[in-house]
Amino acid sequence: MAGTRTGGFPIGFRRGWSDWQKDLSAVVKWAKDSGFGALDVGGDGDKSGKAVVDAGLRIGSVDLLDWGGMISPDAGKRKATVEKNSEYVKKCAPLGPANYFAVMLPEKADLKRAENHKFMVDSFSALAPVMEANKAKLVVEGWPGPGALCCTPEGFRSFFRDVPSKAMGVNFDPSHLIRMGIDPMRFLAEFRDRVFHVHGKDTELFADALQEYGHELPPTFGPGHGFGSAVWRYTIPGHGQMPWIEAFKMLKDAGYKGCVSVELEDENFNGTEAGEKLGLTLGLKYLEGC
Protein backbone atom coordinates (compact mmCIF):
# COMPACT_ATOMS: atom_id res chain seq x y z
CA MET A 1 0.00 0.00 0.00
CA ALA A 2 1.07 3.55 -0.73
CA GLY A 3 3.27 5.63 1.48
CA THR A 4 5.09 8.92 1.15
CA ARG A 5 8.61 8.68 -0.25
CA THR A 6 9.86 10.84 2.63
CA GLY A 7 8.97 9.28 5.96
CA GLY A 8 6.98 6.35 4.57
CA PHE A 9 3.73 7.72 6.00
CA PRO A 10 0.64 5.73 4.95
CA ILE A 11 -1.55 7.62 2.48
CA GLY A 12 -5.31 7.56 2.89
CA PHE A 13 -8.26 9.83 2.26
CA ARG A 14 -11.10 11.39 4.18
CA ARG A 15 -14.42 9.81 3.31
CA GLY A 16 -16.60 12.46 1.69
CA TRP A 17 -20.28 13.23 1.39
CA SER A 18 -21.06 12.34 -2.24
CA ASP A 19 -23.41 9.50 -3.16
CA TRP A 20 -20.76 6.98 -4.18
CA GLN A 21 -19.06 7.32 -0.80
CA LYS A 22 -22.21 6.48 1.16
CA ASP A 23 -21.68 2.76 0.53
CA LEU A 24 -18.95 2.02 3.08
CA SER A 25 -18.12 -1.47 1.80
CA ALA A 26 -17.70 -0.15 -1.75
CA VAL A 27 -15.55 2.76 -0.55
CA VAL A 28 -13.31 0.44 1.48
CA LYS A 29 -12.89 -1.92 -1.48
CA TRP A 30 -12.10 0.93 -3.89
CA ALA A 31 -9.61 2.44 -1.43
CA LYS A 32 -7.76 -0.84 -1.05
CA ASP A 33 -7.82 -1.67 -4.76
CA SER A 34 -6.50 1.82 -5.56
CA GLY A 35 -3.51 1.46 -3.24
CA PHE A 36 -4.62 3.58 -0.31
CA GLY A 37 -3.49 2.41 3.10
CA ALA A 38 -5.86 4.35 5.34
CA LEU A 39 -9.33 5.84 5.54
CA ASP A 40 -10.75 8.65 7.67
CA VAL A 41 -14.33 8.04 8.74
CA GLY A 42 -17.02 10.27 10.24
CA GLY A 43 -18.90 10.24 13.52
CA ASP A 44 -19.83 6.56 13.18
CA GLY A 45 -16.40 5.18 14.00
CA ASP A 46 -17.82 2.67 16.47
CA LYS A 47 -19.76 1.14 13.57
CA SER A 48 -17.73 1.84 10.42
CA GLY A 49 -14.29 1.45 11.94
CA LYS A 50 -14.39 -2.35 12.13
CA ALA A 51 -15.03 -2.65 8.39
CA VAL A 52 -11.98 -0.48 7.70
CA VAL A 53 -9.72 -2.46 10.02
CA ASP A 54 -11.01 -5.83 8.82
CA ALA A 55 -10.12 -4.82 5.26
CA GLY A 56 -6.52 -4.28 6.31
CA LEU A 57 -6.69 -0.49 6.16
CA ARG A 58 -5.61 1.87 8.88
CA ILE A 59 -8.07 4.33 10.41
CA GLY A 60 -6.58 7.77 9.97
CA SER A 61 -9.17 9.50 12.13
CA VAL A 62 -12.76 9.27 13.28
CA ASP A 63 -14.85 12.38 13.87
CA LEU A 64 -15.54 13.31 17.47
CA LEU A 65 -19.26 12.78 17.95
CA ASP A 66 -20.27 16.33 18.93
CA TRP A 67 -18.22 19.51 18.57
CA GLY A 68 -20.58 22.41 19.06
CA GLY A 69 -21.91 21.30 22.43
CA MET A 70 -18.36 21.21 23.77
CA ILE A 71 -18.16 24.98 23.33
CA SER A 72 -21.59 25.98 24.58
CA PRO A 73 -22.25 28.75 27.11
CA ASP A 74 -24.62 26.32 28.85
CA ALA A 75 -22.62 24.43 31.49
CA GLY A 76 -25.18 21.63 31.61
CA LYS A 77 -24.97 21.12 27.86
CA ARG A 78 -21.19 21.10 27.97
CA LYS A 79 -21.24 18.43 30.67
CA ALA A 80 -23.71 16.29 28.74
CA THR A 81 -21.66 16.62 25.56
CA VAL A 82 -18.48 15.62 27.36
CA GLU A 83 -20.28 12.54 28.66
CA LYS A 84 -21.59 11.67 25.18
CA ASN A 85 -18.16 12.07 23.60
CA SER A 86 -16.57 10.08 26.43
CA GLU A 87 -18.89 7.14 25.82
CA TYR A 88 -18.14 7.33 22.11
CA VAL A 89 -14.38 7.20 22.75
CA LYS A 90 -14.90 4.14 24.94
CA LYS A 91 -17.01 2.44 22.25
CA CYS A 92 -14.30 3.04 19.66
CA ALA A 93 -11.49 1.86 21.96
CA PRO A 94 -11.56 -1.78 20.75
CA LEU A 95 -10.38 -0.51 17.35
CA GLY A 96 -7.09 0.45 18.96
CA PRO A 97 -5.48 3.87 19.47
CA ALA A 98 -7.49 6.40 17.48
CA ASN A 99 -7.39 10.03 16.41
CA TYR A 100 -10.58 12.01 17.02
CA PHE A 101 -11.07 14.78 14.50
CA ALA A 102 -12.71 18.05 15.54
CA VAL A 103 -13.03 21.69 14.55
CA MET A 104 -13.39 24.13 17.42
CA LEU A 105 -16.69 25.66 16.31
CA PRO A 106 -18.55 27.33 19.19
CA GLU A 107 -22.29 27.03 19.60
CA LYS A 108 -22.54 30.82 19.85
CA ALA A 109 -20.14 32.26 17.29
CA ASP A 110 -21.13 35.82 18.16
CA LEU A 111 -19.75 35.62 21.71
CA LYS A 112 -16.33 37.06 22.48
CA ARG A 113 -13.60 34.67 21.46
CA ALA A 114 -11.99 34.73 24.91
CA GLU A 115 -15.32 33.69 26.42
CA ASN A 116 -15.74 30.77 24.02
CA HIS A 117 -12.12 29.82 24.74
CA LYS A 118 -13.02 29.34 28.41
CA PHE A 119 -15.92 27.05 27.49
CA MET A 120 -13.62 25.04 25.21
CA VAL A 121 -11.00 24.67 27.93
CA ASP A 122 -13.62 23.53 30.45
CA SER A 123 -14.95 20.78 28.19
CA PHE A 124 -11.73 19.43 26.77
CA SER A 125 -10.06 19.44 30.18
CA ALA A 126 -12.86 17.10 31.27
CA LEU A 127 -12.57 14.92 28.16
CA ALA A 128 -8.77 14.63 28.25
CA PRO A 129 -8.51 11.95 31.01
CA VAL A 130 -10.92 9.70 29.10
CA MET A 131 -8.87 10.08 25.93
CA GLU A 132 -5.65 9.40 27.81
CA ALA A 133 -7.10 6.25 29.40
CA ASN A 134 -8.12 4.94 25.97
CA LYS A 135 -4.87 5.86 24.16
CA ALA A 136 -6.79 8.35 22.04
CA LYS A 137 -5.72 11.66 20.55
CA LEU A 138 -7.73 14.73 19.66
CA VAL A 139 -6.70 16.13 16.26
CA VAL A 140 -7.97 19.68 15.79
CA GLU A 141 -8.29 21.02 12.26
CA GLY A 142 -7.85 24.78 11.89
CA TRP A 143 -10.73 25.43 9.51
CA PRO A 144 -11.59 29.13 10.05
CA GLY A 145 -15.35 28.68 10.15
CA PRO A 146 -17.80 30.94 12.00
CA GLY A 147 -16.21 31.88 15.33
CA ALA A 148 -13.77 28.99 15.11
CA LEU A 149 -11.02 28.72 17.71
CA CYS A 150 -7.65 26.96 17.20
CA CYS A 151 -7.09 28.17 13.63
CA THR A 152 -3.96 30.26 14.15
CA PRO A 153 -0.71 29.79 16.08
CA GLU A 154 -2.16 31.99 18.83
CA GLY A 155 -5.28 29.86 19.06
CA PHE A 156 -3.48 26.50 19.19
CA ARG A 157 -0.84 27.82 21.58
CA SER A 158 -3.50 29.09 23.98
CA PHE A 159 -5.39 25.80 23.82
CA PHE A 160 -2.34 23.68 24.63
CA ARG A 161 -1.34 26.08 27.40
CA ASP A 162 -4.72 25.77 29.09
CA VAL A 163 -5.37 22.09 28.27
CA PRO A 164 -1.82 20.68 28.55
CA SER A 165 -2.80 17.02 28.18
CA LYS A 166 -0.64 15.24 25.60
CA ALA A 167 -3.86 13.73 24.23
CA MET A 168 -4.65 17.13 22.70
CA GLY A 169 -3.16 17.58 19.23
CA VAL A 170 -3.22 18.99 15.73
CA ASN A 171 -4.66 17.80 12.47
CA PHE A 172 -2.09 19.53 10.24
CA ASP A 173 -4.01 20.84 7.24
CA PRO A 174 -1.83 23.42 5.50
CA SER A 175 -4.62 24.51 3.16
CA HIS A 176 -6.33 26.55 5.88
CA LEU A 177 -3.10 28.16 7.02
CA ILE A 178 -2.16 29.18 3.48
CA ARG A 179 -5.56 30.77 2.78
CA MET A 180 -5.20 32.82 5.99
CA GLY A 181 -1.70 34.02 5.11
CA ILE A 182 0.01 31.91 7.80
CA ASP A 183 3.28 30.19 6.85
CA PRO A 184 2.50 26.47 7.20
CA MET A 185 6.15 25.53 7.70
CA ARG A 186 6.62 27.96 10.57
CA PHE A 187 3.40 26.61 12.08
CA LEU A 188 4.64 23.04 11.69
CA ALA A 189 8.01 23.90 13.23
CA GLU A 190 6.24 25.15 16.36
CA PHE A 191 3.62 22.42 16.72
CA ARG A 192 5.23 19.37 15.12
CA ASP A 193 5.31 17.48 18.44
CA ARG A 194 1.53 17.90 18.64
CA VAL A 195 0.75 16.76 15.08
CA PHE A 196 -0.98 13.36 15.15
CA HIS A 197 -2.73 13.49 11.77
CA VAL A 198 -2.18 15.23 8.43
CA HIS A 199 -4.63 16.24 5.72
CA GLY A 200 -3.29 16.13 2.19
CA LYS A 201 -4.96 19.29 0.95
CA ASP A 202 -3.42 22.32 -0.68
CA THR A 203 -4.37 25.90 -1.58
CA GLU A 204 -3.79 27.88 -4.74
CA LEU A 205 -3.46 31.66 -4.37
CA PHE A 206 -4.32 34.25 -7.03
CA ALA A 207 -2.07 37.31 -6.72
CA ASP A 208 -3.84 39.36 -9.40
CA ALA A 209 -7.22 38.74 -7.78
CA LEU A 210 -5.81 39.68 -4.37
CA GLN A 211 -4.61 42.99 -5.81
CA GLU A 212 -8.06 43.55 -7.30
CA TYR A 213 -10.26 42.55 -4.36
CA GLY A 214 -8.10 42.29 -1.22
CA HIS A 215 -8.82 39.90 1.66
CA GLU A 216 -11.66 41.58 3.51
CA LEU A 217 -14.61 41.86 1.10
CA PRO A 218 -16.02 39.66 -1.66
CA PRO A 219 -15.98 41.09 -5.18
CA THR A 220 -19.07 42.91 -6.37
CA PHE A 221 -18.95 41.51 -9.89
CA GLY A 222 -15.82 39.36 -10.13
CA PRO A 223 -15.87 35.54 -10.20
CA GLY A 224 -15.15 33.24 -7.29
CA HIS A 225 -14.03 29.63 -7.00
CA GLY A 226 -15.65 26.47 -5.74
CA PHE A 227 -14.12 25.48 -2.39
CA GLY A 228 -12.60 28.93 -2.18
CA SER A 229 -13.10 32.61 -2.84
CA ALA A 230 -12.03 35.08 -5.50
CA VAL A 231 -8.44 35.09 -4.22
CA TRP A 232 -7.80 31.46 -3.21
CA ARG A 233 -9.11 27.93 -3.68
CA TYR A 234 -8.50 24.53 -2.08
CA THR A 235 -6.77 21.95 -4.28
CA ILE A 236 -5.40 18.44 -4.27
CA PRO A 237 -1.77 18.14 -3.11
CA GLY A 238 0.66 19.43 -5.71
CA HIS A 239 -1.72 21.92 -7.28
CA GLY A 240 -1.13 24.61 -4.65
CA GLN A 241 1.59 26.33 -2.64
CA MET A 242 2.55 23.73 -0.02
CA PRO A 243 6.17 22.40 0.07
CA TRP A 244 5.18 18.84 0.96
CA ILE A 245 8.65 17.28 0.90
CA GLU A 246 9.96 19.83 3.39
CA ALA A 247 6.98 19.16 5.65
CA PHE A 248 7.46 15.40 5.52
CA LYS A 249 11.15 15.80 6.37
CA MET A 250 10.21 17.84 9.42
CA LEU A 251 7.56 15.34 10.48
CA LYS A 252 9.96 12.43 10.01
CA ASP A 253 12.57 14.15 12.20
CA ALA A 254 9.87 14.76 14.82
CA GLY A 255 9.02 11.03 14.90
CA TYR A 256 5.59 11.36 13.30
CA LYS A 257 3.84 7.97 13.03
CA GLY A 258 0.48 8.99 11.56
CA CYS A 259 -1.12 9.03 8.14
CA VAL A 260 -1.51 11.59 5.39
CA SER A 261 -5.14 11.62 4.26
CA VAL A 262 -6.17 13.35 1.05
CA GLU A 263 -9.17 15.58 1.74
CA LEU A 264 -10.81 16.24 -1.61
CA GLU A 265 -12.17 19.76 -1.90
CA ASP A 266 -11.19 20.88 -5.38
CA GLU A 267 -13.47 22.44 -7.99
CA ASN A 268 -11.53 20.65 -10.73
CA PHE A 269 -12.52 17.21 -9.42
CA ASN A 270 -15.51 17.33 -7.07
CA GLY A 271 -18.99 16.76 -8.39
CA THR A 272 -18.86 13.40 -10.18
CA GLU A 273 -17.79 9.93 -9.08
CA ALA A 274 -15.23 9.70 -11.88
CA GLY A 275 -13.82 13.14 -11.12
CA GLU A 276 -13.57 12.53 -7.39
CA LYS A 277 -11.87 9.18 -7.84
CA LEU A 278 -9.43 10.80 -10.25
CA GLY A 279 -8.70 13.63 -7.81
CA LEU A 280 -8.08 11.20 -4.96
CA THR A 281 -5.79 8.95 -7.00
CA LEU A 282 -3.84 11.94 -8.40
CA GLY A 283 -3.37 13.16 -4.81
CA LEU A 284 -2.16 9.69 -3.84
CA LYS A 285 0.33 9.53 -6.70
CA TYR A 286 1.70 12.98 -5.97
CA LEU A 287 2.19 12.28 -2.28
CA GLU A 288 3.89 8.97 -3.08
CA GLY A 289 6.62 10.96 -4.81
CA CYS A 290 7.12 13.44 -1.99
pLDDT per residue as tens digits for the range 143-155: 999 999 999 999 9
Domains in the chain (CATH in brackets) are 11-206+231-288 (3.20.20.150)
Q: What is the mean pLDDT of residues 135-142?
A: 98
pLDDT per residue as tens digits for the range 30-54: 999 999 999 999 999 999 999 999 9
Mean pLDDT score across all residues of the chain:
97
Query: Which of the four pLDDT bands, split at 50, 70 and 90, describes residue 97?
Result: confident
Residue 1 has pLDDT above 80, yes or no: no
* Percent over 90 (pLDDT), the chain: 97
Query: Which of the four pLDDT bands, split at 50, 70 and 90, describes residue 101?
Result: very high
pLDDT per residue as tens digits for the range 167-188: 999 999 999 999 999 999 999 9
CB 195 within 8 A of CB 255: no
What number of helices (H) and strands (E) belong to the chain? Answer: 10, 10
Beta strands in the chain, from DSSP E residues, in sequence order:
11-14, 38-41, 58-63, 99-102, 137-141, 168-172, 195-200, 202-205, 232-235, 260-262
Query: Which of the four pLDDT bands, split at 50, 70 and 90, describes residue 2?
Result: confident
pLDDT score of 267: 98
Q: What is the mean pLDDT of residues 99-109?
A: 97
Closest C-alpha among 176, 107, 117, 119 to residue 144: 176
Residues 68 and 71: their CA atoms lie apart, in Å, by: 6
Query: Which of the four pLDDT bands, split at 50, 70 and 90, describes residue 258?
Result: very high
Query: Which of the four pLDDT bands, split at 50, 70 and 90, describes residue 96?
Result: confident
